[in-house]
Structure 1
Amino acid sequence: MRMSGRSQQSPRRRAFAPVVLALALLTAACGGGTGSSGTSGADVSPASASERAAAAEKQLAKNTLLPLQGKAPAPQLPVTVDSSDGRKVTVNDASRILPLNGGVAEIVFTLGLGDRVVGRDITATFAEAKKLPQVTQAHDVSAESVLSLRPTVVLADTDTGPREAIDQIRDAGVPVVVLDPATELSDVATRTTRIAEALGVPEAGKALNARIARELAAAKAAVPQGSRPKVAFLYMRGSAAVYLMGGKGSGADSLIDAAGAVDAGVEAGLDKPFTPLTSEALVSAQPDVILMMDKGLASVGGVDGLVDIPGIRETPAGADRRIVTAEDGVLLSFGPRTPLVIDILVDRIHQG
């Protein structure tokens, strides 16, 4: 995650210069506690926003996960759980797990069950999953690829498809647990609980939720008093001429709020997750900071290309070139790495 603009030199120094401190923070993050209730260390000691952001950036740069400490949990099965497609699903065996969503896969691995995962979908881009066979083409699930891996349980989202592929997997006798998509910060705990219950490790789910809650509380505690900048989340794909501004329900709105800022789109009255961007709406919103995904910013020619889009220069964010970016697969993943995103946002968006 990066900041562009007048303050660019300062965050780079603050993010990368204190290497010893960042390593110390990460050592604490990996080493505190014992057993499945171990913490990643976010609450080990107080730290400034810049220190937390430096440690978080180093961890995200590794693109690896921090599983719960201690011995991997042993699934207690069978269990019968509610599936978001209206079914009740009984899981008898969690020896071969296949998550069809990158965020779901992150939770499974962080619970300590990564060695049971037999495949991945295209959105599972973290290092531990990269060697696994991919079972999606673009974002469509291949039932044949899934069944060839002989999964004993499949975890999917309500928007996983096509439906025919999911039906084919289910008709082959494989339990398919469907989950609601995670679209805001509060969904992390719900989704973690449901995944842990479906895999027969509810106590590990409770431990992971407790860890995430501690990390989020520590990140929020670093928000500077009296600072409430306005942040606009822009989703752009220049090659496809897609220019959208986030509003209520975009997902980014809950992250911006957690980082102690105001979502400019929500404040401007955008009541849909995304609205086509207009120069009038952007100028009216007057964001202090613009938040984007890395690929989105690259697709419009970087910061120089972005500020040439009508309306951008007329905002405080555009005039000061205050652009914060995050890796596409992490920003809205809403999983175990989300506290790291909040750590970085707290530092970057509150810089003067």
Structure 2
Amino acid sequence: MLCAVLATALVAGACSTAPIDVGTTTTASVADGPRTARTASADPVPVTGTPAPVLPATVRTHDGRSVTVTDVSRIVALDRYGSYGTAVFALGLGRNLVGRDIATKFPAAEPIPIVTRGGTDANVESIIALRPTVVLTDDSLPNATTLQTQLSAAGIPVVVGDENRTVDGTDSLLRSTAAALGVPAAGDALVTRTDAQIAQARSLVPKNVDRPRIAFVYARGTGLLILGGPGSGADSMIDLIGGQDAGTASGLTDAFTSLTSEGLIKAKPDVLLMMTDGLASVGGIDGLLKVPGVTETPAGRDRRVIDMDDGELLSFGARTGDVAVALARALYGSP
């Protein structure tokens, strides 16, 4: 689960997307007060009806191997972000998913067994017991190498993708997943839809204003508070919606750094971005304002906090555009 990744600050680095040109600056135009960003649908919307996979499908994986998939009737999708499980549903193959990671978190996925222990390490025995015909995964899991070796030795096709999560990597993730499952046309359609949503999110960014400084804060109670920086994934999403990542702008060099009052004050965020469960874990907005340093920031003084479902905010892939639109609307008060 992504929470375990942030808790240990072990997320693989990711490149930020290029900044949006918002022209000559005047003043930031962000909505006041706390807001919750919500996507149009709790479940990923299939881009098509159930597609007919063209198999066998032979693909070159991110680790340089050639893998042939002959059957996609029993798919297991595993990564720290829920990207592959979400993509399977969005490609119209959700009924074929028989095992998932804990970050594949939406109503339609609830009946599917979770095979990641403690939210991160995948249980090889549990996966094999599901009799998968293909496993989609990457190196974002702590035991990735062992997992991939043991599953391959058991004769299960293992398709390894790129573990980095950025807006710019969205199209590649979707197309490679679709190709491995024998549904490249559905992948192209999903890319087209996602790119249109990303363009819509960009269109919601006000022109000729300052880029608001947005700090991604991960929380699991007041005892675990982490500030996002370059390569967190949140920086890429913040850039997409016209903001600047406050942690990066303040000089952070790591993807995640333990939050201190001094660090937060130095970051000078106009807005705090959090996962919904994380915000609840510190007692909501009122509890967050009691965290040292929060009320000394522009965001804290004006109660500008945006929260979003834990399973959506940094899932990327099939929901990148949907999430970006929801965040942009929450940030700027767009209809």
- TM-score normalised by the chain length of structure 1: 0.79
Structure 2: which 5+ runs fail to align? Answer: 1-29
* Counterpart check, 1:236 vs 2:180: no
- Deviation, 1:351, is 4.8
SS in 2 for 1:76: coil
Q: Which runs of 4+ in 1 moved over 3 A?
A: 5-9, 163-166
1:298-317 alignment, distance < 5 Å = 298-317=280-299
* Matching residue's letter, 2:137: A
For residues 306 and 133 of structure 1, the distance between their equivalents in structure 2, rounded to whole angstroms, comes to 34
* Counterpart check, 1:183 vs 2:183: no
Deviations 1:263-308 (A, max 9, x none): 1112112222112222222222211111111122222222222222
Correspondent of 2:66 among 60, 71, 88: 88
SS in 1 for 2:254: coil
SS in 2 for 1:124: coil
Correspondent of 1:291 among 257, 273, 279: 273
* Matching residue's letter, 1:114: G
For residues 58 and 340 of structure 1, the distance between their equivalents in structure 2, rounded to whole angstroms, comes to 6
* Matching residue's letter, 1:260: G
For residues 287 and 171 of structure 2, the distance between their equivalents in structure 1, rounded to whole angstroms, comes to 38
Structure 1: which 5+ runs fail to align? Answer: 13-52
1:1-352 alignment, distance < 5 Å = 7-8=32-33, 57=38, 59-60=40-41, 63-69=42-48, 71-101=49-79, 102-138=82-118, 139-160=120-141, 162=143, 163-227=145-209, 228-238=211-221, 241-351=223-333
- Deviation, 1:184, is 1.2
Q: Which structure features the higher share of helix residues? A: 1
- TM-score normalised by the chain length of structure 2: 0.83
Deviations 1:61-97 (A, max 9, x none): xx2121013x432222222222233422121222221
For residues 31 and 95 of structure 2, the distance between their equivalents in structure 1, rounded to whole angstroms, comes to 46
Deviations 1:141-170 (A, max 9, x none): 222221222111111121235343432221
For residues 46 and 241 of structure 2, the distance between their equivalents in structure 1, rounded to whole angstroms, comes to 24
Give the aligned partner of residue 35 of structure 1: none
* Matching residue's letter, 1:94: V
Shift in CA distance, 323/253, structure 1 to aligned 2, threshold 3 Å:
same
Percent of pairs with identical residues: 46
Deviating more after overlay: 337-346 vs 104-113: 337-346
For residues 266 and 58 of structure 1, the distance between their equivalents in structure 2, rounded to whole angstroms, comes to 27
Shift in CA distance, 229/97, structure 1 to aligned 2, threshold 3 Å:
same
Residues 212 and 270 of structure 2 are in contact (CA less than 8 Å); yes or no, is this contact kept in structure 1? yes
- Deviation, 1:133, is 2.5
Root mean square deviation, CA, Å: 2.3
Residues 193 and 202 of structure 1 are in contact (CA less than 8 Å); yes or no, is this contact kept in structure 2? yes
For residues 76 and 343 of structure 1, the distance between their equivalents in structure 2, rounded to whole angstroms, comes to 33
**How many residues are treated as equivalent by the alignment?**
300
Shift in CA distance, 292/209, structure 1 to aligned 2, threshold 3 Å:
same
Residues 182 and 334 of structure 1 are in contact (CA less than 8 Å); yes or no, is this contact kept in structure 2? no
| Bigger relative contact order, structure 1 or 2 (CA pairs below 8 A, ≥6 apart) | 2
- Deviation, 1:330, is 0.6
For residues 129 and 282 of structure 1, the distance between their equivalents in structure 2, rounded to whole angstroms, comes to 36
For residues 335 and 191 of structure 1, the distance between their equivalents in structure 2, rounded to whole angstroms, comes to 6
For residues 228 and 52 of structure 2, the distance between their equivalents in structure 1, rounded to whole angstroms, comes to 41
Deviations 1:2-37 (A, max 9, x none): xxx99449x68xxxxxxxxxxxxxxxxxxxxxxxxx
